[in-house]
Structure 1
């Protein structure tokens, strides 16, 4: 039984090399006969030739004339998406064997499941797992062993991190777009989880799906103090909106 088309939305600002690697890994490790997919790149005001590369590679893309940050870029990509499943993917994620197949198996295992996400080497909270590896070849070998679909390895969680999360279209249509007040990023994924949860939908963390995440690639370039200020500002916005400290769900 197929799970329909998956739209993979990859936003990025001046991250052409990351996008190239990310798209190459998706093409290599996603079996289109099992899990049909479309890639939609969102060029968030880049000046590094991202749009030109997408055009040359025939990767559908949307180009924002200036950088607006992650939530707005995701929303621009979501507007173009035609999939039954909508997957938000950071450009510094590397796909692995059966990654999409396993996530969709979990997502469609129950009518009340709204979102699913993998585990990874780098994330905040419970999705970070520790599999020591020396290089990407070894990581892919480990992922090949880990990524055997197993419902016993699905865990219901209150929070999924936005580096790689797949949402059923009907849930997205009820929950709405990402909240752009959290631009350029941080806590928009926590906010989204709260909204999906509020619809009575469950979320699954899939320990049978391991992907690689470089982590903080877009925020490494910002100054530490600036980042702290942004985190603090967005945390306050979250608390004002929900009357709850996001740390409760970490």
Structure 2
């Protein structure tokens, strides 16, 4: 095995329509593991039939973070690539690849690649972001970005004006396409599995890497075509709101002050109420409107954790 050998972890959930293209795009990798989180669309079977990866089929939806940790444990390579199943790589991961060379630098903790739309355009606002400040998350929670998209908090957080053609330091590449050394992953303790089922686990991982003194890099020659949001549609509106707001507040619990936490909770309450009223007044939007008001209970519940059932659904619980 090469000292720069790359192993790939791909977490699937309702990904049967995209996983084959993803696996067939892998070049220059030594091992690939697909961890399926109890999909009901035969994602695991499709992945297994390609004969291109080892497939671990979970009986329950363990969440993205836990599945990544599970996949890394199954690999033996010194470099780990976390890749979403809806990403089709446009470049290989041979030892000479710039992204591999970057990841091997001792001062670098993580490298993100360039995520593109189907037409090859860089996905601005998603591909690379700044680590969130309390102000940025307040703007998100209050829905300020919907009525004032050009506000300064949103522009900084979503890195509006970022030059996607230049290799450079950055703060938070999207979790859809991340390369790092195994030693970094182990030193950080892996992904925090309490971010369930998804959202903010990649943000937290980048935060901890930078807090430990490592640089995070962006490498534009490592390109991936990204479909985006293919699994999110399988979540109900209620579960989407619970997961996003619950994990936002878990992130705040870990990294922000008590006063900042209270401000975020108040902002989330207002934002959910406004969204709930707005949705409730539209044709066919009553169910989502109710989901917004139900999610307000999530905002004021602590700590932020979910229980999982065998079907992959989740409900709010209080830890002992």
TM-score of the pair, normalised by structure 2: 0.61
How many residue pairs are counted as aligned between the two chains?
215
Instruction: Identify if the C-alpha distance between structure 1 residues 169 and 81 changes in structure 2 by more than 3 Å, giving closer, same or farther.
Output: same
**Aligned pair in 2 of structure 1 residues 123, 60: CA closer, same or farther (>3 Å)?**
farther
Contact 2:10 2:35 in 1 (8 A): yes
Contact 1:70 1:183 in 2 (8 A): yes
Runs of 4+, deviation exceeding 6 Å: none
Measured at CA, do residues 174 and 123 of structure 1 come closer, stay the same or move farther in structure 2, by a change above 3 Å?
A: farther
Q: Give the equivalent residue in structure 2 for 1:119.
A: 114
Deviation at 1:222, TM superposition (A): 2.6
**Match of residue 137 from structure 1:** none
**Structure 1 segments unaligned to the other structure (5+ residues):** 129-151
- Contact residue 153 and residue 208 of structure 1 kept, 8 A: no
The equivalent position to 2:77 in structure 1, one of 77, 80, 83, is: 83
Partner SS for 2:243:
helix
Residues 1:69 and 1:106: Cα distance change in structure 2 (over 3 Å): same
1:50 aligns with 2:46: no
- Secondary structure at 1:217's aligned position in 2? coil
The CA RMSD over aligned residues, in Å, is 2.5
Task: Provide closer, same or farther for how the CA distance between residues 89 and 123 of structure 1 changes in structure 2, counting only shifts above 3 A.
Answer: farther
43, 56, 60: which one aligns with 1:62: 56
Q: Secondary structure at the match of 2:25?
A: helix
**Offset, 1:226:** 3.8
* Cα distance in 2 between the residues matched to 1:90 and 1:126: 13
Pick from 104, 121, 130: which aligns with 2:100?
104
Give the 3 Å change call, closer, same or farther, for CA 66–123 of structure 1 in structure 2: farther
Conserved 8 A contact 1:118-1:127: no
Partners of 2:108 and 2:199 in 1: CA distance? 24
Determine whether 1:237 maps to 2:250: yes
Summarize the Cα distance change of 1:173–1:51 in structure 2 as closer, same or farther, 3 Å threshold: same
Report 1:1-250 matches (<5 A): 4-26=4-26, 30=27, 32=28, 36-58=29-51, 59-98=53-92, 101-108=97-104, 110-121=105-116, 122=123, 124-125=125-126, 127=128, 153-224=166-237, 226-243=239-256
Deviation of 1:207 after TM superposition, in Å, equals: 2.4
Residues 21-66 of structure 1 deviation map (CA, whole Å, 9 limit, x = unaligned): 100121xxx2x3xxx4211000111233333344443321212111
Match of 1:145 in 2: none
Task: Please report the TM-score for the alignment, with normalisation by the length of structure 1.
Answer: 0.77
Q: 1:233 to 1:164 in 2, by over 3 A?
A: same
CA distance in structure 2 between the aligned counterparts of 1:237 and 1:124, rounded to whole angstroms: 22
Q: For the residues of structure 1 that align with 2:81 and 2:198, how far apart are their CA atoms?
A: 17
Deviation track 1:98-153 (CA, whole Å, cap 9, x = no partner) reads: 46623212222x3110110112134644538xxxxxxxxxxxxxxxxxxxxxxx92
Measure how far apart 1:199 and its partner are: 1.8
Structure with bigger RCO (C-alpha 8 Å, 6+ apart): 1
C-alpha spacing 1:15/1:7, structure 2 compared with 1 (3 Å): same
SS, match of residue 217 in structure 2: strand
Give the equivalent residue in structure 2 for 1:135.
none
